[in-house]
């Protein structure tokens, strides 16, 4: 049957590998949001001594290429060390699938982004990052660009719902321009904590809503 | 099993239509312009006149000359909107349409905006009904045309057209309706509804592709868009698509309202089974005022392209309003205009039926659909905790 997808993409889409959740993962990270069409959550378990990935699972709200890339990229990194995993790109995943239609590239980037975010978070958590720089405002904003504002479909920095950021004595204070009872408020908060909570010099992240 | 539920895109051509068309490829292949030179041309000219009359009488036209043949519904919409705007621009430069029209209407309007016309895009409510109060407020002294679809091609929502027509005609403004997806499923006739222009698309009701019809009420000022000869009463140049015209007339003539009842029953079965057997589904569009052949559903927590692709693996053809499916990666503008979230639009699936579908096909589809939805939900990070 002629489809824009390769046989391998279809196979991985039909029977994706490594689907599910991990209980007590070392890292759990979400990229994208249903508002922009694709969303992928990645769970990682890493051996504390060898830093090899012992278990990796994902869940996806997405199209065929998103699901297939999630499946293949989790296959590619299983058993690798976190440093090795960091080197795997969406291009490697797309090649391993025998190619993806150009219009679908953004869907496959998401899986690679999730992997890199998860590994970075792990490395920072475990003190594997060689140069320990103190967290600055720009680091915070850069990390926040990975959190999507479900009301607009763009990240919370671009959608200008970050009203204020303050770093004080190892605590990051973030003021979000959403109502406390906004249907997405809890979700946005959880994702902000996911992105900032692990930074080595940060003890706590406090998110407040004001509108 | 192969099941085709994309009849809102195009339908299977009826055998009787093909049979009627065939002689116009190999035996009667002249064009009517030659009627003054030879009898080959006369034969064809007669066939076209007869076709025009057949269509005129079925759509309630008072004169066969009110039927203009084009290459498609898209061309008919272009001709209606741009043709009327250009011909009437000395009376005003304001047009009104809705946010949920077919792209051929919206893009024609945008082109006119670039040329100095002003366009009001009426909003719709959560079921897709045009805001009537907004329509009343939008009509101005310099409004030259209102173009509103009879029903929506994605959700099937049927507008309160009589009310709209009375308001527009009460103000003496020209009214066009895009009935491409609705005619003849909905019995709209120019003599029952006060419309000035109406678009009809024969391949949506078992006729051939490559032919469109624009009803233009006598006396309506309209500018020719395709220049050349004097074909189609000097409104649209180009050699006539004779087999297409003959096929279109046949499709209009043989359309059977018993088939509409059949489709309506099939849709009833589809709707009942989906809503009873699959949780967290939402019907997009109006439940009671809708086309008999279209049902559009959002399946929560999952993305539409995945659903349509998995259905395709089982031989079932549907379409989705998901961004992942479209070339511009935008979710359905129609569902967004109805106030649905991007997430809801991404998870939408359109089922569109025809007289060739069967109960067995509906049952097979819902069986597979329930499995696929459950499967994809297991994969999804969203959902009920």
Residue A75 has pLDDT above 70, yes or no: yes
Query: Where are the CATH 3.90.1150.10 domain residues in chain B?
Result: 257-377
Tell me how far CA of residue A42 lies from CA of A32, A60, B209, in angstroms: 12, 9, 47
- How far A175 CA sits from the closest chain B CA (Å)? 25
Catalytic residue list contains A107: yes
The residue of chain A with its CA nearest to that of B348 is A37
- Of A44, A73, A93, A107, the catalytic one is A107
In sequence order, the β-bridge partners of residue A162 are A176
Confidence of residue A185 (pLDDT cuts 50, 70, 90): confident
pLDDT tens digits, one per residue of A117-163 = 899 889 888 887 766 778 888 888 888 888 878 777 678 888 889 99
CATH topology of domain B257-377: 3.90.1150
The answer to whether B104 and B128 have CB atoms below 8 angstroms apart is no
Handedness of CA A179, A180, A186, A190 (dihedral sign): positive
Residue A105 has pLDDT above 50, yes or no: yes
Confidence of residue A36 (pLDDT cuts 50, 70, 90): low
Nearest to A64 among B301, B306, B329 (CB): B306
Q: Which residue has the tokens 């539409």?
A: B304
| Chain B interface test: which of A4, A31, A61 (most B C-beta within 10 Å) | A61
Mean of pLDDT over chain B: 94
Residues 274-303 of B with CB under 8 A from A: 301-303
Within 10 angstroms of residue B99's Cβ, the number of other Cβ atoms is: 17
Name the CA radius of gyration of chain B, rounded.
22
Q: Give the per-residue pLDDT at B374.
A: 95
Structure tokens at B371: 């499995």
pLDDT tens digits, one per residue of B258-297 = 999 999 999 999 999 999 999 999 999 999 999 999 999 9
B368 sits in which H/E element: helix B359-379
Residue B325 has pLDDT above 60, yes or no: no
CATH number of B15-254, picked from 3.40.50.720, 3.30.70.260, 3.40.50.300, 3.40.640.10: 3.40.640.10
Report d(CA A84, CA A77) in Å as an integer.
8
Confidence of residue B9 (pLDDT cuts 50, 70, 90): very high
Residue A183 has pLDDT above 80, yes or no: no
Q: Where are the beta strands (DSSP E) in chain B?
A: 3-4, 67-70, 94-98, 118-122, 143-147, 174-178, 197-200, 212-216, 281-284, 294-299, 316-317, 319-320, 348-352
Residue B192 has pLDDT above 70, yes or no: yes
Domains and CATH numbers, chain A: 7-125 (3.90.1010.10), 137-209 (3.30.300.130)
Report d(CA B151, CA B174) in Å as an integer.
19
In three-state secondary structure terms, B319 is strand
Confidence of residue A107 (pLDDT cuts 50, 70, 90): confident
Alpha helices in B182-228 (DSSP H): none
Query: Where are the CATH 3.40.640.10 domain residues in chain B?
Result: 15-254
Check if B329 contacts A (Cβ < 8 Å): yes
Residue A189 has pLDDT above 50, yes or no: yes
Report d(CA B303, CA B61) in Å as an integer.
45
Report d(CA B97, CA B95) in Å as an integer.
7
Tell me how far CA of residue B209 lies from CA of B13, B156, B213, in angstroms: 9, 21, 12
Confidence of residue B167 (pLDDT cuts 50, 70, 90): very high
Burial code (b: 16+ CB inside 10 Å, e: under 16) for A162-196 equals: beeeebeeeebebbbbbeeebebbeebbebbbbbb
Q: What is the largest CA-CA distance in chain A?
A: 61
Structure tokens at B239: 């050699």
Catalytic residue list contains B324: yes
* Residue B382 to residue A61, Cβ atoms within 8 A: yes
């Amino acid at each position: 049957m002629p489809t824009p997808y390769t046989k391998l993409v279809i196979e991985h889409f039909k029977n994706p590998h490594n689907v599910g959740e991990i209980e007590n993962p070392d890292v759990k990270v979400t990229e994208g949001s249903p508002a922009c069409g694709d969303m992928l959550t990645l769970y990682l378990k890493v051996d504390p001594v060898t830093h090899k990935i012992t278990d990796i699972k994902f869940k996806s709200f997405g199209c065929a290429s998103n699901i297939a890339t999630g499946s293949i990229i989790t296959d590619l990194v299983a058993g690798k060390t976190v440093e090795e995993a960091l080197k795997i790109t969406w291009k490697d995943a797309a090649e391993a699938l025998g190619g993806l239609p150009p219009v679908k590239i953004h869907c496959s980037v998401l899986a690679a982004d999730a992997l890199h975010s998860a590994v970075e978070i792990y490395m920072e958590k475990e003190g594997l990052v060689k140069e320990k720089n103190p967290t600055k405002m720009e680091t915070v904003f850069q990390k926040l660009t990975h959190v999507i504002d479900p009301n607009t479909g763009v990240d919370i920095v671009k959608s200008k719902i970050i009203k204020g950021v303050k770093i004080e004595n190892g605590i990051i204070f973030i003021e979000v321009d959403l109502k406390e009872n906004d249907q997405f408020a809890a979700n946005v908060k959880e994702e902000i904590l996911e992105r900032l909570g692990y930074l080595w010099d940060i003890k706590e992240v406090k998110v407040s809503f004001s509108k | 099993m192969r099941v085709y539920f994309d009849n809102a895109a195009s339908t299977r051509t009826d055998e009787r239509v093909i049979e009627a068309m065939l002689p116009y490829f190999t035996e009667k292949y002249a064009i009517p312009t030659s009627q003054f030179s030879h009898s080959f041309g006369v034969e064809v000219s007669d066939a076209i006149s007869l076709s025009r009359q057949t269509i005129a009488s079925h759509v309630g036209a008072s004169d066969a000359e009110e039927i203009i043949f084009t290459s498609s519904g898209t061309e008919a919409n272009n001709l209606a909107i741009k043709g009327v705007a250009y011909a009437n621009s000395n009376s005003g430069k304001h047009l009104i349409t809705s946010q949920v029209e077919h792209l051929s209407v919206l893009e024609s309007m945008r082109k006119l905006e670039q040329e100095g016309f002003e366009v009001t895009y009426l909003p719709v409510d959560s079921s897709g009904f045009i805001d009537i109060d907004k329509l009343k407020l939008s009509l101005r002294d310099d409004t030259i045309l209102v173009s509103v679809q009879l029903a929506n091609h994605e959700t099937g929502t049927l507008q309160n057209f009589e009310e709209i027509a009375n308001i527009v005609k009460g103000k003496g403004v020209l009214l066009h309706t895009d009935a491409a997806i609705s005619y003849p499923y909905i019995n709209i006739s120019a003599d029952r509804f006060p419309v000035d222009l109406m678009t009809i698309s024969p391949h949506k009701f078992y006729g051939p592709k490559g032919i469109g019809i624009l009803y233009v009420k006598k006396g309506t000022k309209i500018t020719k868009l395709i220049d050349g000869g004097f074909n189609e009463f000097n409104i649209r140049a180009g050699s006539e698509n004779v087999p297409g015209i003959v096929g279109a007339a046949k499709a209009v003539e043989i359309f059977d309202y018993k088939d509409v009842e059949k489709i309506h029953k099939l849709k009833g079965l589809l709707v009942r089974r989906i809503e009873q057997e699959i949780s967290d589904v939402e019907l997009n569009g109006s439940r009671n005022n809708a086309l008999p052949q279209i049902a559009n559903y959002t399946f929560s927590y999952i993305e539409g392209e995945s659903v349509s692709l998995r259905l395709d693996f089982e031989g079932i053809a549907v379409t989705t309003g998901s961004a992942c499916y479209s070339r511009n990666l935008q979710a359905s503008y129609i569902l967004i205009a109805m106030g649905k979230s991007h997430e809801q639009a991404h998870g939408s699936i359109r089922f569109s039926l025809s007289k060739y579908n069967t109960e067995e096909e509906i049952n097979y589809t819902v069986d597979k659909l329930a499995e696929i939805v459950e499967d994809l939900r297991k994969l999804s990070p969203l959902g009920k905790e």
